Structure 1
Amino acid sequence: MNAERLLALYERTADAPDAVSRLRRFILDLAVRGKLVPQNPNDEPASELLKRILIEKSRLAAAGKIAADKPMGVQKEEAFETPKGWEWSRYGDLALEVATGPFGSMLHQHEYVVGGTPVINPSHMVNGEIVADQRVAVSSRKAQELSSYRLQAGDVVMARRGEVGRAALVRDEANGYICGTGSFRVRFSDDVCREFIMILLRSQQVRLYLANQSVGTTMTNLNHSILNKMPTPVPPAEEQRRIVAKVDELMALCDQLEKARELREATRDQFVAATLARLNDPDPETFHEDAKFALGALTALTTRPDQIKKLRQTILNLAVRGKLVPQDPNDEPASELLKRISAEKRRSRGSTVMVGSDAIPFPIPISWKWAALDELITSGPQNGISPKPTTRTDAPRAITLTATTSGVFNPNHFKRVEATIPSSSDLWLQQGDLLFQRGNTREYVGIAAIYEGPPTTFLFPDLMMRVRLSEHVNLRYVHLAAISPPARAFLSENASGAQATMPKINQTTLVSLPLPIPPLDEQHRIFARVNDLMMLCDQLEESLAKGDDTRRRLLDALLVEALAPVKGREMQAAE
């Protein structure tokens, strides 16, 4: 594998969401399989290296410098075919010594001092390097007590719990640090290339083995036996160094590709943000041209789901500002519509909350009118109920918050509850009910959805409020206005409660929600236009998902092809 082949592979899969990270894993996989650099028949075979390691371990054990190996009792496993000159070994056979840090009883948290000798735990192993924390250190006296756990330059420290496979190479500046309780210290012969060991530990083959063999449920753990028995492909010593050099070269290229991708995405984001900003804060003289450009460039502007989300918000923002469809001077003005609703409400509900002149968020067309939600309501707001859940399959169904969090009702999210509710009760949802979430995170509190389901089938919970609107307004327009950015900002800002908890809105806040109301005929046209554009957004999302899936499959196929043991392909991959 050379830089040209890597670039050619990237060119075919560059738009896959995880293309660079997959290429990095691919490089490591090739490295540990002997497919990254060509083999040299003049290299001393790995079998000789392993013999020397065994001799050195025996000498050190006889001198009492390391513990004698315990019989492992298993045969070496071969996870895949390796080139001639390589050997399958066990990790414990490749290392001179695998040791753990001190027991917890030997090192307590209260013994840590600032600025002493650092103690290296898994959290201090970052991207293969040791990043010591001066607050996690011990005094010189304590370090002397723990001298048998000191690290030496060239050691490899590995996480014993948590993220299996996490490791770091001990460099000169970390010489003398203390191996922590949650870590392994692995020492190797000078003939073994430590940088190759780090490549091995980063490979998927090792990560999967350790993950599958680890024990524990709350936190995964490794022990000596698991680590010592790990099947390990061992190349000749000289080839180890060539592999490291090639991996460094290709990873540097991946860094460049990643930076180029980030720059490209940042430029695209700036372009998208500038385009949508011109629509969200329109210039009357250029708006129509800006809108024409933006709507005509939807496919080019949206390459990620988060960009489509912003586009949806922009569409709603334009809709409630009267910028999405032209006004028709023949439409009956919204003021007449509100008068009819007001007369209807005087007969049924009494006084009404109205929008004051100081509460108008932005200018609207002359035929429109600002109205508080209360001016459009004929019933409610009404809070739901929260009876105890039950496992009885014949018990009533109550929807959960998740059923409306997307802004669209989803009947699949409900729970059975212990309640006896008459069929005539207003607690049963009816087609066309408008539901608002009374409590949720700051992002979702007040989110609205229209109930689309059969009558007397679902109850609604106490964390929702239900309203019913006058027949003189278009329910779907009011809904899109209620989930538009200005309305969402009003409800979020007026929700009570700390950010870290679940903020809530009350009925007073909800009925005060200011909504821009167009003439009824224009409401119909706006909803139709928004519906068309939202369907286009749906198609874009589906297209993105399919495109991402296709690119992932292409990348998978190319990687499989590159790894396939077809005669003659191995040298090609290694060139």
Structure 2
Amino acid sequence: MNAERLLVHYEKIADAPDAIARLRRLILDLAVRGKLVPQDVKDEPTKGFLTPSDPAAPFELPSSWKWTGIGDQLHLLNGMAFKPTDWAGSGLPIVRIQNLNNPDAPFNFCNPEMAREQSLIDDGSFLISWSGTPGTSFGAFIWDRGPAVLNQHIFRCDFKTQAFIASFLRIAINGRLDEMIARAHGGVGLQHITKGKLEAVLIPLPPVSEQCRIVAKVDAMMALCDRLEASRAHREGMRDQLATASLGRLNAPNPETFQKDASFVFDALPSLTKRSDQIDRLRQTILNLAVCGKLVKGTTANVALVGDYRTLQNGYAFKSSWFSKTGVRLLRNANIGHGEIHWNDVVHLAEDRVPEFERFRLKDGDIVLTLDRPFIVTGTKVARVSANDLPSLLLQRVGRFVETSPGLDDDYLFLWINSPHFNAQIDPGRSNGVPHISSKQVEAAKIFVPSLAEQRRIVAQVDALMALCNRLETSLTATAATRRRLLDSLLVEALAPVEDRQRDAAE
């Protein structure tokens, strides 16, 4: 297996979430290891301070290559520590890390007279960003947008020797970013590498003529990656448009075409849903159709208020001094997700306090609705209590539905309060900066209530469709895992030494 054959198999792995990014990384890895283009015996060997197979070398190189340190090749001159008061409306552009990573990022400007000479750059200047978020901020760049001045955290790199051409040196450094990041230090998400550590990073040094061949090959393969990325984005965009249009026709149905539209969507589900977020949108569409009487043919429903059938009972504000390591589990907002209760963060009420709070005990099948929503932007958190969750009590700001009159099936109610139709009626206020839903808001929300028999048919149909969504999601997960394993295998084989590949082929 080699790089070319990996590209032959690429269509099988193209939809892996990070396939293109990893392919770009592979190209750089092959380039800095001398595996992207063949060596030419006519090339003049390079001079460095470590031989290709030296025990201190990070990995073995072709015999005509050497190892050298960044500090042996470059003078590193840091940018200026500008303050907001130094900025001007026009003048000399100040280059920040975001200007390196994003050509469209806006510039700050300064008075040219305040810029120090060692921080000035122009077209062709070689730069290394040495601080920021690992994986996005570190790297080598060749500047091509005219006169500017560097902000701090970026080195201007002046060449000490003529051993490298700039375009290959950029590849050599970016191919060793893992080593740079490993030497960096700082807090989570924001790190930097010191000048001394950066100067000590080893980079591979091939003959100049081979550097030129490698640059040409890398440019061609990165251009291919660009095309693959654009093709994937176009494909995803078209699929999203089709899915949005198809689901939109169901959410705003035309009575004359609804059955045909619905049949198309459900027949085309595997093609319309290639990501988990698309399946989530499909689930919401199914719920919306169900509670609006569009999912089961011939459904007729009356409009009522939730409060006509159910009232909300709030939980109790238990004191922390009553908690213990054992006892009856307490249900809190943090334990409730969409449709499920999680006990990864359990608080217990001491046994001797339990009897006085029996009226707050949950029973199997109860519906629990959080009234306090600090963890999500939209949508309520609703859970059904199962026998496996018991015995439990309710904590403050968690509501419990209490039956007041017959005629509304709990399973149908559970579908309804999970649907976009319910969420569209809720306008949360804020309590101490936290979004909050009042019990009165929930009880005043309008609900479509067909006959009990019809409610149960709707629930059965939703269960069947949700099971289909679950199978699709499982299939997507399995397919993604298969693609990832194939990608991992291809990358490992592509990076294997030439002699290993020849031996495998012979076997």
Give the TM bin, normalised by the shorter chain: 0.7 to 0.9
- Note the C-alpha offset of 1:85: 0.8
Task: Indicate the residue corresponding to 2:474 in structure 1.
Answer: 542
Task: Indicate the residue corresponding to 1:116 in structure 2.
Answer: 91
TM-score (norm 2): 0.87
1:323 aligns with 2:266: no
Matched AA of 2:93 = P
Matched AA of 2:412 = Y
* CA offsets 1:470-509 (integer angstroms, 9 cap, x no match): 4543211111011111111112xx22249x9532111211
Task: Indicate the residue corresponding to 2:194 in structure 1.
Answer: 223
- Whether the aligned pair in 2 keeps the contact of 1:391 and 1:416 (CA below 8 Å) is yes
- Note the C-alpha offset of 1:274: 2.0
- Whether the aligned pair in 1 keeps the contact of 2:326 and 2:349 (CA below 8 Å) is no
- Whether the aligned pair in 2 keeps the contact of 1:428 and 1:457 (CA below 8 Å) is yes
- Whether the aligned pair in 2 keeps the contact of 1:445 and 1:495 (CA below 8 Å) is no
1:459 aligns with 2:393: yes
- Note the C-alpha offset of 1:312: 0.5
CA separation in 2, counterparts of 1:389 and 1:216? Answer: 39
Task: Indicate the residue corresponding to 2:19 in structure 1.
Answer: 19
- Whether the aligned pair in 2 keeps the contact of 1:76 and 1:89 (CA below 8 Å) is no
CA separation in 2, counterparts of 1:454 and 1:265? Answer: 41
CA separation in 1, counterparts of 2:314 and 2:79? Answer: 61
- Whether the aligned pair in 1 keeps the contact of 2:140 and 2:174 (CA below 8 Å) is no
TM-score (norm 1): 0.78
- Whether the aligned pair in 1 keeps the contact of 2:2 and 2:493 (CA below 8 Å) is no
CA separation in 2, counterparts of 1:174 and 1:168? Answer: 17
Unaligned runs of 5+ in 1: 52-74, 328-364
Task: Indicate the residue corresponding to 1:352 in structure 2.
Answer: none
Q: 1:402 to 1:132 in 2, by over 3 A?
A: closer
CA separation in 2, counterparts of 1:560 and 1:390? Answer: 56
CA separation in 2, counterparts of 1:273 and 1:26? Answer: 35
Task: Indicate the residue corresponding to 2:169 in structure 1.
Answer: 197
Task: Indicate the residue corresponding to 1:528 in structure 2.
Answer: 460
1:157 aligns with 2:127: yes
- Note the C-alpha offset of 1:170: 4.5
Q: 1:112 to 1:288 in 2, by over 3 A?
A: closer
Once the two structures are superposed, the pairs formed by residues 349-360 of structure 1 within 5 Å of their partners are none
Q: 1:34 to 1:168 in 2, by over 3 A?
A: closer
- Note the C-alpha offset of 1:568: 7.8
Once the two structures are superposed, the pairs formed by residues 126-205 of structure 1 within 5 Å of their partners are 126=101, 134-137=107-110, 139-143=111-115, 146-151=116-121, 153-164=123-134, 166-171=138-143, 173-175=145-147, 177-188=148-159, 189-203=161-175
- Whether the aligned pair in 1 keeps the contact of 2:130 and 2:139 (CA below 8 Å) is no
Comparing 511-520 and 447-456, the one that deviates more: 447-456
Q: Select 1:483's aligned residue among 418, 426, 434.
A: 418
1:97 aligns with 2:32: no
Q: 1:484 to 1:132 in 2, by over 3 A?
A: closer
- Note the C-alpha offset of 1:413: 4.3
1:381 aligns with 2:313: yes
- Note the C-alpha offset of 1:454: 5.8
CA separation in 2, counterparts of 1:373 and 1:566? Answer: 70
Unaligned runs of 5+ in 2: none
Comparing 410-419 and 479-488, the one that deviates more: 410-419
Q: 1:262 to 1:534 in 2, by over 3 A?
A: same
Q: Select 2:57's aligned residue among 72, 78, 102.
A: 78
Task: Indicate the residue corresponding to 1:59 in structure 2.
Answer: none
Task: Indicate the residue corresponding to 2:182 in structure 1.
Answer: 212
CA separation in 1, counterparts of 2:84 and 2:393? Answer: 52
CA separation in 2, counterparts of 1:552 and 1:559? Answer: 10
RMSD: 3.2
Matched AA of 1:212 = A
3-state SS of 1:467 partner: strand
CA separation in 1, counterparts of 2:187 and 2:55? Answer: 28
- Whether the aligned pair in 2 keeps the contact of 1:315 and 1:530 (CA below 8 Å) is yes
CA separation in 2, counterparts of 1:522 and 1:132? Answer: 56
- Whether the aligned pair in 1 keeps the contact of 2:45 and 2:207 (CA below 8 Å) is yes
- Note the C-alpha offset of 1:275: 1.9
CA separation in 1, counterparts of 2:171 and 2:349? Answer: 55
- Note the C-alpha offset of 1:283: 2.3
- Whether the aligned pair in 2 keeps the contact of 1:88 and 1:232 (CA below 8 Å) is yes
Task: Indicate the residue corresponding to 2:337 in structure 1.
Answer: 405
Matched AA of 1:202 = N
> How many pairs align?
494
3-state SS of 1:184 partner: strand
Mark the structure with the bigger radius of gyration: 1
Q: Select 1:237's aligned residue among 208, 228, 242.
A: 208
3-state SS of 1:394 partner: coil
- Note the C-alpha offset of 1:112: 3.4
CA separation in 2, counterparts of 1:424 and 1:471? Answer: 26
Percent of aligned pairs sharing the same letter? 35
- Whether the aligned pair in 2 keeps the contact of 1:151 and 1:170 (CA below 8 Å) is no
